[in-house]
Structure 1
Amino acid sequence: MVARIFNVRNKENLIGKYFLFLSLSCFINCAQFTFADIQNNSSPDTLALIGYKVITSENYIYSYKNKLVKLGLTDNFETRKGYLLNMVQDEILIRQAYESGLDKTVESQNELKRIQVQELLNAFSDKHISTKINITDNELKDLFVKVNTKIKVRHLYASSKEEADRLYNQLLDGKTFVELAQNIFQDQELKETGGLIGYITIDEMDPDFERAAYALKVGEISKPVKTVRGYSIIKVEDKISNPFVTQSEYLKAYDKLKAFARKRVYEELTKEFSQSLSAKLNIQFDEKNVSLLYEYIKHGFIGASVENSFNVSEYDLDKIFVTSAMGSWNIKRATNELNTISEKQKKWIRTEENLKDFIAGLINREYILQKAKKEKLDELTSYKENVRENFDSYLLSIVENKIIEKIKIPGDSVKAFYAGNLKLFASSPEIKLSSILLDDKIISDSIKVMLVSGVDFALLAGKYSIQKIPAERGGDIGYYKKDELENFGDEIFRLKKDEWIGPLSFEGKYLFIKCTGYKQSSVKSLEESYGEIERWLANAKWYKEKDKYVDSLKEKIETKIFFDKLTKIKI
């Protein structure tokens, strides 16, 4: 019942179980030992030796526990053994990357610099931001309610605040979402439906979009909301709360809820810190030159070769773009700084406002890095370990990608897998329900008597149900799959259309359920599934090829694994 943020019902998860164990992989911190130490196996904490490196039980337990939760694995000896083997394989490939000189390439050295910067920023955040995070039980309970509430939303998109304000005023003047969407969206479906997104839940949209949407009542329209893409004006069309949530389910989800809540609070605190720092540094832009640089970006100036058809004069490059307490940046400096971000990040620069946000962020970054170095955060052992771990992960990905590039999946293999595993491509049947939720046994007994005597279910739901929004819709709570109905799944799915059951009793509440319809299971076609199958088969073959390659490397890298010690580890 815990929604998609925890991926417990993600379609990819169900199908992906076919290759679940193959997906185990991790990047570890390995301590340095002398050759004599390794040969003598002087430490009882040692689980594996790879040349001069060692995997300790501390390394193993930290990574293994995280994977158990993330992948939903059962802890047993075979799982522990398989995970340790994957850790050893990764270390062998990382060592091969170093011996092949992959760490010395221009690309790798640039990536190392990027990692060093990012980890220094992370160290600063850990010291100055993360310590301020405080999550209360009430906040977690509120999050749990939202996780179990779907909202139906539509929106209008604008790239700038001015455009968003204009659209909002038109809505106030009586224009409809459908009318305005015609001139906003390129997507035909969004044009025709008035920007209808459909039902969403927690962690499916931009956090600011989500926060604004969940704060609205049904029928309400938000003021322009700034997101990473621009601005959205949001309207909530419907809300459906799951009536089957229980206290025990909340307790089961508690740790994951808390981790997600910490992530969201951290993001919000980081944004607030950034805004405060920008004000402190008094960042001021020359609007004319912002427009000029934005035009350069649109024409491919950033990262482009000198042969680019859009010519940029030295005169323009010298123009002051932004001033702050950190000094002045001309267009050339701003361009050079923008070239330090990834191509993926550059694609988010879609408006002049985006450009200013990015540059302000880069100025903030420069200030933070200077402050972090003054505080000697780059001398911390944890910082150095994180840099090395992330750089090792990067080198590992290079080696793995070289293996992947050689893999080809024949079309016949895709067809054969599809034909032999049709159940993997079938959607689950769904039942449409109406509910009456009560917290009083006497009223519950009376409702049952009235239902038996033929009183309309929708009428009673509207009058007595303690769930306000479903009550307004005659009890309608939408479609559910069997696994979303907890212990009541089998019983409810035996209902025929227009049949009801109840009261179902749990945790002091009483629930009546009526079936109002069904959606039958359907199977995706081979054409719809082809790309997914190709990726899965390539993934499976990749692990076999990886095993072969690692085995060939073991001839020159002395490796020893102490599987017997896994039984003594406490997880």
Structure 2
Amino acid sequence: MRDHLILLSCLLCFSLGALSCQDKVESDVLARINEYSITEVHFENAFKEYYFRTGRAISANPSTKLSVLNAKFDNYVLATYAEDKKLDKTEAAFQKRGEIERRVLNEEYLNQIILKDIQVSEEELNQYFVRFNTTLKASHLFANDLTSANILYERLKNGESFEKLAKEVFQTPYLANNGGDIGRFTTDEMDIAFEEAAFGLKVGEISKPVPTAQGYSIIKLTDRFTKPILSKNEFAIKKAEIASYVYKKKKELATREHLYNFRDNLEFNSEVFDALWNKMNENYSSAVSKDSEFISGLKSDEILASYKGFEFTLEDFSTEYRFTPLSLINAIEGKDGFENFVIGTALRDYLFKNAKEANLQDQPLIRESVDETFYSYLAQQAIEDLKKSISNTDEELRIAFQKNQE
């Protein structure tokens, strides 16, 4: 509690000092600190984002709005503190800014360019209304990769049973002993690609390997039940909700299709890839720590991989590697895992370059999104820095312990 009060006191003194240098605030600016301003439009957008993120569970009254405004302003106070301490000039901050820019621009490129023509028809709304009132029962066989899934599919075509193959692929006793049975489910309860494939099957029919977020599934539909009476009134009540769901689902499926197409058609230069893997593997500690000298040593104009005219060089890889979160680097397992990692960095570079070519970085809302996300990062760094300046004596700790023990 003492640490929390000291931290708030530091922030209060700092914010009052920063605000005192402002002579006046424009009529549409609600708050300002140094170069940071919260305008009415900016605040309303922030409030709407918070409102929907909480599932519309908050009341849009003055008190709630003031709380959101204060939280937004606190972020700016902390970000300004971080800048005064040069926390925005560190290598970690540089990497975080690059990571944020890529995430925001790549997402916007998908939304504004790749997915811009997605619409939901009246026929699709009717189909999904029926789906939401339909229960399926299915079995599946799982494989980690497409090659293994295709082998399983060929064995099924040659007469081997789901029951036999399930015993081979599953370690979970129930799945192994029940032919991969996953029970009953309806819309929005399974991976969307799995669900889409299952609803497209007739009872007794078997699908080809379906790529899901986990790997590949071969699905066998064993039962289907649809509520016998569906009314127009029910449809009218659910229509808006169904439309929102279908739109999001179509976007997700289209995104996956785009990513899978890139992955399946990316051509590697095997010699360059093998040399890169060996270098990363032999210098593991430098690689996982993103040592600057090691990363600089990776730079080369040699082409690591290509996709329909797009060339991904070793220099491109070194740049993307620098902006990759350590959690993803630490998750790499073996050469196959590294290949998937390279595919991911190549895709990120491909989307980012296309987004820049489309000048998405010049759109005000995109610039604001990048800045706001980075300010939040700086705010967190400021909090960590302030915490380091707070210390407790042994006597203070003893007194606090005695007060709080039950």
TM-score, length-scaled by structure 2: 0.68
The aligned residue for residue 112 of structure 1 is 97
Q: 1: distance between equivalents of 2:261 and 2:98?
A: 27
Using CA pairs below 8 Å that are at least 6 residues apart, which structure has the higher relative contact order?
Answer: 2
Any conservation in 2 of the 1:160–1:353 contact (CA below 8 Å)? no
- Alignment match of 1:37 (pick from 21, 24, 48): 24
Q: What amino acid sits opposite 2:352 in the alignment?
A: L
2:62 and 2:232 map into 1 onto residues whose CA distance is 32
Counterpart residue number, 1:495: none
Asked if 1:372 is matched to 2:355, the reply is yes
Q: CA deviation at 1:346?
A: 5.9
Quote the sequence identity (%). 27
- What corresponds to 2:372 in structure 1? 389
Distance 1:125 1:199, change over 3 A: same
| Change beyond 3 A, Cα 1:166–1:368 | closer
Give the superposition deviation at 1:266: 2.6
Once the two structures are superposed, what CA deviation does each residue of 1:50-94 show, in whole Å capped at 9, x if it has no partner? 5455544434444444555554546756x4522431331242144
1:285 aligns with 2:272: no
**Per-residue CA distance 1:201-221 (angstroms, 9 max, x = gap):** 333433222211121123322
Matched, 1:222 2:229: no
Residue 119 of structure 2 corresponds to which residue in structure 1? Answer: 134
Kindly provide the CA deviation profile for residues 355-383 of structure 1, in whole angstroms up to 9, marking residues without a partner as x. Answer: 65654454344344334334433222222
8 Å contact kept, 2:137–2:185: yes
Alignment of 1:170-181 (within 5 A): 170-181=155-166
- Distance in 2, matches of 1:201 and 1:295, equals 47
Q: How does 1:129-278 map to 2 (within 5 A)?
A: 129-242=114-227, 246-273=231-258
Aligned residues of 2:78 and 2:378 also touching (Cα < 8 A): no
The aligned residue for residue 411 of structure 1 is none
Any idea what the Cα deviations from partners look like across 1:417-443, whole Å, max 9, x if unmatched? xxxxxxxxxxxxxxxxxxxxxxxxxxx
| DSSP 3-state at the match of 2:139 | strand
Q: 1-side partners of 2:229 and 2:330: how far apart?
A: 42
Counterpart position of 1:363: 346
2:116 partner SS? helix
Q: Deviations 1:124-174 (Å, cap 9, x if unpaired)? A: 334422431222122123223323433233221112222212212222344
Aligned counterparts of 1:297 and 1:246: Cα–Cα separation in 2: 61
Match of 1:3 in 2: none
Q: CA RMSD in A?
A: 4.4
Letter in 2 for 1:379: D
Amino acid at match of 1:35: Q
Paired residue secondary structure (1:133): coil
Contact 1:68 1:75 in 2 (8 A): yes
TM-score when normalising by structure 1 = 0.51
User: Is 1:82 paired with 2:64?
Assistant: yes
Name whichever structure is richer in helix by fraction.
2
Query: CA separation in 2, counterparts of 1:297 and 1:329?
Result: 16
Question: How many residues matched?
Answer: 355
Aligned position for 1:519: none
* Aligned partner of residue 131 in structure 1, secondary structure: coil
d(CA) in 2 for partners of 1:187, 1:269: 32
The whole-number CA distance in structure 1 between the counterparts of 2:350 and 2:55 is 41
Aligned to 1:434: none
Q: Could you list the runs of 5+ residues in structure 1 that have no partner in the other structure?
A: 1-31, 307-313, 405-571
Q: Distance in 2 between matches of 1:256 and 1:133?
A: 17
User: What is the SS of the residue equivalent to 1:223?
Assistant: coil
Q: Retained in 1: the 8 A contact 2:175–2:181?
A: yes
Using a 3 Å threshold, how does the CA distance of structure 1 residues 372 and 72 change in structure 2: closer, same or farther? closer
Provide the C-alpha distance between the structure 2 equivalents of 1:296 and 1:221, rounded to a whole number of angstroms.
Answer: 44
Alpha-carbon distance in structure 2 between the residues aligned to 1:299 and 1:170: 40
Which SS does the other structure have where 2:305 is aligned? strand
Name the amino acid aligned to 2:353. Answer: Q
Q: Read off the aligned partner of 1:205 and give its amino acid letter.
A: M
Distance 1:277-1:221 versus aligned 2 partners, 3 A rule: closer
> Residue 350 and residue 152 in structure 1: after superposition, are their counterparts in 2 closer, same or farther (change >3 A)?
farther
**Mapping for residues 425-464 of structure 1, pairs under 5 Å:** none
Query: Which of 56, 81, 91 is the equivalent residue of 1:99?
Result: 81
Tell me the distance in 1 between the aligned counterparts of 2:354 and 2:59.
46
- Structure of greater Rg: 1
> 3-state DSSP class of the match of 1:49?
strand
Q: Which amino acid aligns with 1:369?
A: F
Q: Which amino acid aligns with 1:190?
A: L
CA gap 1:67/1:242 in 2 versus in 1, 3 angstroms? farther
Over 3 Å counting, the alpha-carbon distance change for 1:275 and 1:224 in structure 2 is: closer
Distance 1:116 1:157, change over 3 A: same
